[in-house]
Amino acid sequence: MAFTARSQESRAAILAAARRRFAADGYERATVRAIAADAGIDPSMVIRYYGSKEGLFAAAVDVDLRLPDPAAVPADRLGEVFVRHFLGLWEGEGPGEVLTVLLRAAVTNEGAAERMRAVFASQVAAALGSSTEDGPTRAALVASQLLGVALCRYILRLPPIVALDVETLVADLAPTVQRYIGAPLA
């Protein structure tokens, strides 16, 4: 039952193929057989190593946003820093794939949605909303704008948003996020 060093290579290949397929096709369309074929291995091994398709999915969406510490940046540049960091995650090969998997799945799968809420609470809200009373609300407004761009740019591929380069996008979105973090709310 315990994993040995010899099998690590296969496990990693399966996990990489799973992330690629889950990201490209979503949870339901991504089949165990296709993932196994991409990894050059038998479908039954996937089940043997990860228990079930759901277990494989859980292993594939282990995400760490590595958010910067708000105390470490000037207060008036928090918006810019957060937007740039977030877009950097999505543009990156590895983390962007994991985030695509998570968002795609969270939209149609309640378990994945729960995981998304957990990521928000333990990472986003924790980083932005520890101090003030309305912190969680501010963090959620930030999330709504950032997830919205991610949705339009990387999932729906809305042409005008895809056409913008990252720095322009940062410049356009930073004031919004800055206001959600700092300015008084209604």
Partner DNA sequence: GGCGTTTGCCAACAGTTGTTGGCCTACACT
Partner DNA sequence: AGTGTAGGCCAACAACTGTTGGCAAACGCC
Sites of contact with DNA (CB under 7 A): 1-4, 6-7, 9-10, 30-34, 40-48, 52-54
Residue choice 23, 32, 78, 141 for contact with its own copies (CB under 8 A): 141
Check binding of 143 to its own copies (CB under 8 A).
Answer: yes
Which pair of tokens denotes residue 85?
A: 């960091």
Measured from the Cβ of residue 92, the count of other Cβ atoms closer than 10 Å reads 12
Check binding of 76 to its own copies (CB under 8 A).
Answer: no
In the three-class reduction of DSSP (H, G, I as helix; E, B as strand; rest coil), residue 161 is classed as helix
Which pair of tokens denotes residue 155?
A: 């999932």
Check binding of 131 to its own copies (CB under 8 A).
Answer: no
Cα of 148 vs its chain's centroid, Å: 13
Residue choice 23, 35, 147, 181 for contact with its own copies (CB under 8 A): 147
Long-range contacts of 79-83 (CB under 8 A, 24+ apart): 79/173, 79/174, 79/175, 79/176, 79/177, 79/178, 79/179, 79/180, 79/181, 79/182, 80/170, 80/174, 80/177, 80/178, 82/142, 82/146, 82/177, 82/181, 83/146, 83/169, 83/170, 83/173, 83/174, 83/177
Instruction: Name the binder of 34 from its own copies, DNA, none, CB < 5-8 A by kind.
Output: DNA
- How many residues touch its own copies (CB under 8 A)? 48
Taking the C-alpha atoms of residue 2 and residue 94, their distance in angstroms, rounded to an integer, is: 27
Check binding of 116 to its own copies (CB under 8 A).
Answer: yes
Between 1 and 71, CB nearer to DNA: 1
Residue choice 8, 28, 51, 122 for contact with its own copies (CB under 8 A): 28
Check binding of 14 to its own copies (CB under 8 A).
Answer: no
The least distance separating DNA from the CB of residue 111, rounded to whole angstroms, comes to 13
Contact residues: its own copies, CB under 8 A: 25-26, 28-29, 103-104, 106-108, 113, 116-117, 120, 125, 136-137, 139-141, 143-149, 151-153, 155-161, 163-164, 168, 171-173, 175-176, 179-180, 185-186
